[in-house]
Amino acid sequence: MPRLAIEPPPVVSLPIVGTDARFPVRRVYCVGRNYAAHTVEMGGDPNRDAPFFFQKNPDNLDPSGVFPYPSGSSDVHHEAELAVMLESGGVTIPVDRALDHVYGYALALDMTRRDLQGEQKSLRRPWEIGKAFERSAPVGPVYPAAKIGHPVSGRIALSVNGKIRQDGDLGQMIWKVPEMISYLSEYFELAGGDVILSGTPSGVAAVERGDVMELKVTGFAALEVRVV
């Protein structure tokens, strides 16, 4: 093993339901506008031909249940998502074999500095400043697919301070999980530890310090996150 010039950062890992083992995170891919109603509310066309993706950083995933309101923004939005955790990967993965590579699933939030994202969009620049900031992806524990199967439908809903804001169904995804995995593998070599945030229903909106967000998906324990 080569001698390292500085101490390497710790491996980002997430708790797994039913075991003391943890899921190590390699990369984080996020699909944009994957629910028709959300695509419309963001000014897009829900009938476009192919998905598009952006990335967050592994250490953006945060299972602490606390979301620190980030600097540089006055318009931070919640986006409720189902996260897909891969145990293996490859390239040009066929759709009908894609689920073979899934380890499990978790609940997650794609927190977004919407004002900064909008500025970058208007300048035709990348979105990372609005998406990939510290602790921008609150996440719950990983549920192994071997125990819960592969969710294809079920309510996904997010409330803030007890009031529902986002309310949809996993079955409303434009591009299903196997299709996302297959499409990504045409452009990236996927591997175990990769995480895919699968998109959000309509109803995204701003949060403020003191808010309590609660994400519920059928078959999962609720994910509660406090904004501080």
Residue 127 CB partners (closer than 8 Å, separation 6+): 54, 117, 120, 121
Pairing mode, if any, of strands 28-31 and 76-77?
unpaired
Please state the rounded mean pLDDT for residues 154-174: 96
139 vs 156: CA distance, rounded Å = 14
pLDDT at 155: 97
pLDDT at 43: 59
pLDDT higher than 90, residue 50: no
Query: What is the gyration radius of the CA atoms in the chain, in angstroms?
Result: 17
pLDDT at 48: 59
135 vs 139: CA distance, rounded Å = 10
85 vs 142: CA distance, rounded Å = 8
State the pTM of this model. Answer: 0.94
104 vs 22: CA distance, rounded Å = 12
222 vs 224: CA distance, rounded Å = 6
pLDDT at 150: 98
DSSP state, residue 136: -
pLDDT at 192: 98
pLDDT at 41: 57
Residue among 86, 84, 91 nearest 101 (CA): 86
Q: How many CA atoms lie within 13 A of 112 on its CB side?
A: 22
Residue among 27, 217, 227, 213 nearest 106 (CA): 217
Looking at every residue in the chain, the average pLDDT score rounds to 94
Please state the rounded mean pLDDT for residues 7-22: 96
CB 184 within 8 A of CB 190: yes
